[in-house]
Amino acid sequence: LTQGMEVESDGQRPGKKIVRKPYVVNEMEYEASLPEKKSNTLSRDLIDYVRYMIQNHGENYKEMARDEKNYYQDTPKQIKRKINVYKNFYPEEYKEFVASLKQEKMEVQ
């Protein structure tokens, strides 16, 4: 039970409890019935991390896992998952980013 909720047993019926603050229960039930909010952004850290990895390693997840900026010591699978989350969240931004990388490579050669 949460803080602020006083529950007492009335002694006569073991297991049966009397709720002293019903508004707390009502509020909790109301909050539980609300639709879950989906966060509509990713953290700046995650975005920068994913972009850095793609920029430096393309799609070589094993290399990414060995990169010194892999502070979280993610495995190749975890890195791939993070990149996919980014792709799904910002498909347009991802396409533009990859296209800009291809453009840079062509200019360098």
- The three-class DSSP label of residue 63 is helix
Region label for 73, one of left (φ > 0), alpha (ψ between -120 and 50) or beta (otherwise): left
Q: What is the pLDDT of residues 6-52, one digit of tens each?
A: 555 555 555 666 667 778 888 888 888 877 655 677 889 999 999 99
Distance CA 53, CA 102 (A): 15
In the chain, domain spans: 44-108
| 0.75 exceeded by pTM | no
Rounded CA separation 54/60 (Å): 8
104 vs 73, residue with greater confidence: 73
95 pLDDT band (50/70/90 cuts)?
A: very high
Give me the amino acid identity at 26. Answer: N
| pLDDT confidence tier of residue 97, bands split at 50, 70 and 90 | very high
What phi, psi does 17 have (nearest 5°)? -120, 150
